[in-house]
């Protein structure tokens, strides 16, 4: 094998390897990347003047706690529950459930039905400001059982069956902006036949960070 032929084979091998590398790189670049996901936390706080053990709010709600105590005169604030979900950029999220998270007295037949949703959730591209999210529509609603029928016993001494009605409560807001990883008060609700108030706090952050 003469020298020219050897050099040609070496050059051809290098060119072939370069073509393989370029093709692999182009294929990897062309592969679609998944949209980022975000964790959303809806925390339900109940404020009241009921006697009993005082419960401190979690540390991540310290700013919210100061805000509530500065604007409301309740002696007790407790975290009733935390709902966790995941949403994609420009995505929607909807949640429905049956639970007793407001602390009202119910038996097994009378439950609270509630739901909340986020629509058109988008990460805001604002390089000169703090990261934030825009929400097209935020909705929270609940149907709470309220006994309105007579109480006591009938003429035969038998306990009267209660008459039940469901009170609808809820809030809806559009075109909201919330800062990333910052608990944000979304609104308040007054519970039927109680003196308590429900506070809805939303936190949104990149997926995978520590749960509050």
pLDDT tens, residue by residue, 8-22: 455 545 554 555 555
Domain membership of residue 78 (yes or no) is: yes
Number of folded domains that form the chain: 1
Domain membership of residue 1 (yes or no) is: no
Q: Classify residue 152 as exposed, middle or buried by CB count within 10 Å of its CB (0-12, 13-18, 19+).
A: exposed
Residues 180-201: what's their mean pLDDT? Answer: 87
Domain membership of residue 185 (yes or no) is: yes
Domain membership of residue 30 (yes or no) is: no
pLDDT at 81: 87
Q: Is the pLDDT of residue 31 over 50?
A: no
DSSP E strand boundaries for the chain = 37-48, 76-88, 91-98, 113-124, 132-147, 164-179, 184-190, 197-206
Range of lowest pLDDT (45-49, 105-109, 128-132, 165-169): 105-109
Cα–Cα dist 183/76, whole Å: 19
Domain membership of residue 189 (yes or no) is: yes
Domain membership of residue 10 (yes or no) is: no
Range of lowest pLDDT (40-54, 68-82, 102-116): 102-116
Range of the domain at 113: 37-206
| pLDDT mean across residues, the chain | 78
Domain membership of residue 119 (yes or no) is: yes
């Amino acid at each position: 094998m003469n020298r020219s032929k050897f050099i040609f084979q070496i050059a051809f091998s290098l060119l072939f390897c370069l073509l393989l590398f370029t093709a692999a790189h182009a294929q990897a670049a062309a592969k679609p990347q998944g949209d980022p996901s975000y964790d959303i936390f809806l925390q339900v706080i109940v404020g009241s003047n009921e006697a009993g053990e005082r419960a401190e709010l979690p540390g991540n709600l310290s700013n919210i706690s100061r805000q509530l105590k500065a604007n409301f005169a309740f002696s007790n604030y407790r975290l009733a529950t935390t709902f966790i979900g995941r949403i994609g950029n420009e995505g929607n999220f909807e949640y429905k459930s049956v639970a007793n998270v407001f602390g009202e007295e119910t038996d097994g037949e009378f439950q609270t039905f509630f739901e909340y949703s986020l629509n058109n959730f988008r990460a805001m591209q604002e390089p000169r400001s703090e990261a934030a999210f825009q929400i097209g529509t935020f909705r929270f609603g609940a149907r709470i059982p309220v006994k309105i029928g007579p109480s006591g016993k009938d003429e035969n001494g038998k306990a009267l069956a209660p008459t039940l009605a469901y009170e609808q409560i809820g809030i809806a807001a559009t075109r909201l902006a919330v800062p990333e990883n910052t608990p944000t008060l979304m609104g308040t609700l007054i519970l039927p036949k109680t003196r308590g108030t429900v506070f809805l706090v939303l936190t949104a952050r990149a997926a995978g960070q520590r749960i509050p």
